[in-house]
Amino acid sequence: MKVYDKIFINGSWVPSVGSESIEVLNPSTEEVAGKVPLCVVEDVNRAVRAANDAFEGWSGTSVAQRAEMIQAIADCMGKRMDELAKLIATEMGMPLAMAKMIQAGLPFTIMGSFAKIASEFEFEQTIGNSLVIKEAVGVCGFITPWNYPLHQIVGKVAPALAAGCTMVLKPSEIAPLNAFFLAEVMDEIGLPAGVFNLVNGFGTEIGEAIAAHPDIDMVSFTGSTRAGIRVAELASNSVKRITQELGGKSANIILEDVPDFAKAVSKGVQDCYLNSGQTCSALTRMLVPQNRQKEAMEAAKAAAEKFSVGNALAEGSKLGPLVSAAQRERVIGYIKKGIEEGATLVTGGPERPEGLEKGFFVKPTVFADVRRDMTIAQEEIFGPVLAIIPYKDLDEAVSIANDSRYGLSGGVWAADPEKAKQIARRLRTGQVAINGGRFNPLAPFGGFKKSGNGREFGPIGLEEYLEVKSLQL
């Protein structure tokens, strides 16, 4: 069991002002995997003071110095990759092999990318008789989720460091151990005191204290749309900058002319089930030609039933548990709702997977004959549940895809990539995968509509942490 009894403020491990702790559960076994302090608002105030005190010094360092420090963080993370992967697999449930590649490998890659991005970024340019300077926005508050815990943290911390910002981080109380791991890394490489500060607790107290704090200049939040609205309300009182990456209900349009229809469907199932479906950008709505829905059902059923469900640390597990009992009940509720509303249950269902009496497991589930107005077609389920929706023609497919309050991601499969790009341009969403195009950690990530505002990763992600100043010469 991993136990942390201190938080990280002003370059030191210090006790929380509060006296309580939070237990972290292993979702595969329902046993306690770790403990961390439960902070109080005064801990946030201490962390913000430390970040403010450190800001002038850190923002005044050279870009080269900041890039060197970021690379040192990445190198230290890389040396502990196996330890990190096991830690995250244990606290949030992604199968270990995938956790090493995604939950540990992706943050390592992104952290390192910002050393290069910072070195190459144009922080000053001349426009007419003005010298335009891009400089750090200030003290940042980060509120991050449990589904890709360190990935989402690094997506904020790395560009903030590159820009010259200081920060206060509140990770999810459900999966916080990786954030304490990162604080250990910051301590080990000698990041200047106060640049990175870690507090822990529940969103309703600690998250809200960060969002409302008058001495925080920017808040970056990743989580549910409901919580994001609350963060925005609190942040607006001090007119601070806000970036948000919120929910999603992404559509995957498969055209009739795709050369290998079954392959496209199978890949779509994989995209839906990644991280047990606990992915904001998951392609959870599969749009197929009406006359090929039966074929899609058969291919999806075959693909879904290949997902072996089991303990995240067990060899061969392809689909781990959901992160908590509450999340499992939520997903089961949606599966029951799909059945009640008349969708065809192709495979899966609300019952526990056979042989798994402990752990927050859900059967990989596929529905067909889903109408665009059904609950499972409109609401973010955040579990391994795919909705197959038939369409009559391309215009209807695009209409169904855009018929959502969200706009985070999407996919298009077509024989002609140029035609697929044309369709992608019609989708009101922040990113679109063409014929299974893979995730690019240097490309901007974020959404339209209620999926949020702002972008993360790559040079455009760095821009979010910069203010613009004009010197008229």
Give residue 451's pLDDT: 97
Enclosing domain of residue 431: 251-440
Give strand pairing partners of 347: 366
> Is 165 labeled as catalytic in the residue annotation?
no
| Measured distance CA(282)–CA(129) in Å, rounded | 47
Residue at 310 is within a domain: yes
> What's the pLDDT tens digit per position in 128-157?
999 999 999 999 999 999 999 999 999 999
Asked whether residue 239 falls in the same domain as residue 255, the answer is no
Asked whether residue 273 falls in the same domain as residue 216, the answer is no
Give residue 143's pLDDT: 98
Asked whether residue 256 falls in the same domain as residue 334, the answer is yes
Asked whether residue 67 falls in the same domain as residue 15, the answer is yes
Q: Is residue 145 a contact partner of residue 456, using CB atoms and an 8 Å limit?
A: no
Alpha helical stretches, state H, 190-260? 208-212, 225-236
Asked whether residue 8 falls in the same domain as residue 127, the answer is yes
Residue at 445 is within a domain: no
CATH code of the domain in which 47 resides: 3.40.605.10
Low-confidence ranges of the chain (pLDDT < 50): none
Asked whether residue 162 falls in the same domain as residue 310, the answer is no
Give residue 446's pLDDT: 97
Give residue 400's pLDDT: 98
> What's the pLDDT tens digit per position in 48-104?
999 999 999 999 999 999 999 999 999 999 999 999 999 999 999 999 999 999 999
Amino acid at 122: E
Q: Is residue 206 a contact partner of residue 170, using CB atoms and an 8 Å limit?
A: yes
> What's the pLDDT tens digit per position in 153-192?
999 999 999 999 999 999 999 999 999 999 999 999 999 9
| Measured distance CA(451)–CA(155) in Å, rounded | 17
Q: Into how many domains does the chain fold? A: 2
Give residue 300's pLDDT: 98
Asked whether residue 434 falls in the same domain as residue 459, the answer is no
> Is 76 labeled as catalytic in the residue annotation?
no
Asked whether residue 379 falls in the same domain as residue 230, the answer is no
Residue at 446 is within a domain: no
Choose, from 173, 245, 456, 464, the residue flagged as catalytic.
Answer: 245
Asked whether residue 193 falls in the same domain as residue 260, the answer is no
Residue at 11 is within a domain: yes
Asked whether residue 223 falls in the same domain as residue 287, the answer is no
Give residue 238's pLDDT: 96
CATH code of the domain in which 417 resides: 3.40.309.10
Asked whether residue 204 falls in the same domain as residue 326, the answer is no
Choose, from 91, 280, 456, 464, the residue flagged as catalytic.
Answer: 280
Phi-psi region of 355 (alpha: psi -120 to 50; beta: other; left: phi over 0): left
Asked whether residue 232 falls in the same domain as residue 282, the answer is no
Whether the pTM exceeds 0.95: the reply is yes
